[in-house]
Amino acid sequence: AAKSDPDGSYRFYDPNIQDSRAERRALEEALRSALDKREFELFYQPILDLGTNRMWGCEALVRWKHATKGMIPPLQFIPTAEESGLIGPIGDWILEEACATAMTWNLPLKVAVNLSPVQFKRRDVYASVTKALTLSGLPAQRLVLEITESVKLTEEATASLRRLKTLGVGISLDDFGTGYASMSYLRSFPFDKIKIDQSFVRGMMESSGSRAIIKATIGLANDLRMSTTAEGVETQEQLNALRVAGASQAQGYLIAKPMPREALEAFMTEIQNPQQTARAVA
Ligand code: C2E
Ligand code: MG
Ligand code: MG
Ligand code: MG
């Protein structure tokens, strides 16, 4: 219902909408100050190469270490960061931090970084990525960018991705199979890798449908000369079945949860020791 404001104008009176608008504005303000106060932190989740049984690299996953609310997961603030445009500077920080951290590792492992569709629309992605590589000194071959189908592959976006590929940066298609245009998307760009969404892996032991989709995706990737990473691997049975199906890599809680960079160093030292690897993920 519309009601009259003291100033005589009409507005729709809905306390919930008012709250959520005010909340969003407050969150935006908090994000802005979080960037200044350096409250964002990257966690790293190891990815296992199933061919060699060694680490392939890690995916960088952002968290917000809030002074009073504790650790806030990305899905609770990335959408607001995207709406407000703050994903631009936050995304640049993520790229720079991930590249700089990968430079400190003793092994030449890859680092995968998620890119938001808004970074493509509003920012020169090529410039952001090359700046992060130059600042850190990380060889382009060690950086992999993850994009989803929500990135519109306009001519400009495709041109940026092609230039990055020429430099040696890898491009992965994240959450494959969950969007509306997976097949035409695969045709629009020569991705290096397909990440099989965890929703397929989660049900794979119980559902022959999920297993069929995984098998077909791996076959398709092979024919397109793309590699595959299965996401959300939580059980030994899933890992075994994915090996048999021919997935290139596996990522999930069975191998390791996302962890702070300090914990990752200890993990990597342990996992590169073949005996330990055998115990953890044989
Ligand atoms: P994503 O890129 O598909 O990342 C994988 C998500 O699955 C991560 O959630 C990870 O913690 C979770 N995961 C990994 N293994 C398992 C498992 O075995 N079981 C279960 N249940 N979950 C698992 P997270 O870190 O909460 O990130 C969620 C999403 O937020 C990401 O999905 C990505 O789309 C977005 N995101 C994360 N970090 C960034 C970032 O730095 N920039 C942008 N633009 N988006 C990000
Ligand atoms: Mg990802
Ligand atoms: Mg994913
Ligand atoms: Mg996902």
Model confidence, pTM: 0.91
Residues 61, 154: Cα–Cα separation, whole Å: 26
For ligand 1, what atom is nearest to the CA of residue 87? Answer: 44
Residues 127, 72: Cα–Cα separation, whole Å: 29
- Contact 234 CB / ligand 1 (< 6 Å): yes
- Gap from CA of 32 to ligand 2 centroid (Å): 24
**Strand, coil or helix: 158:** helix
Strands 110-114 and 54-66: what pairing? parallel
CB of 115 closer than 8 Å to CB of 125: yes
Task: Note the pLDDT tens digit of each residue in 113-168.
Answer: 999 999 988 879 999 999 999 999 999 999 999 999 998 888 889 999 999 999 99
For ligand 1, what atom is nearest to the CA of residue 254? Answer: 18
For ligand 1, what atom is nearest to the CA of residue 195? Answer: 3
Query: How wide is the angle at C-alpha 107 spanned by C-alphas 101 and 110, nearest 5°?
Result: 60
- Contact 71 CB / ligand 1 (< 6 Å): no
Sign of the alpha-carbon dihedral angle for 210, 170, 179, 220: negative
- Gap from CA of 137 to ligand 1 centroid (Å): 26
Q: How many CB atoms lie within 10 A of CB 209?
A: 11
Can you tell me the ipTM of this complex? Answer: 0.98
List average pLDDT for each run of 10 residues in the chain, which is 282 residues long: 44 57 89 95 97 95 94 95 95 98 95 95 91 98 96 90 96 92 87 97 95 96 97 98 98 97 89 58 54
Q: Choose which residue among 47, 72, 101, 114 to substitute to test ligand 1 binding: the one with the highest number of ligand atoms within 8 A of its C-beta.
A: 114
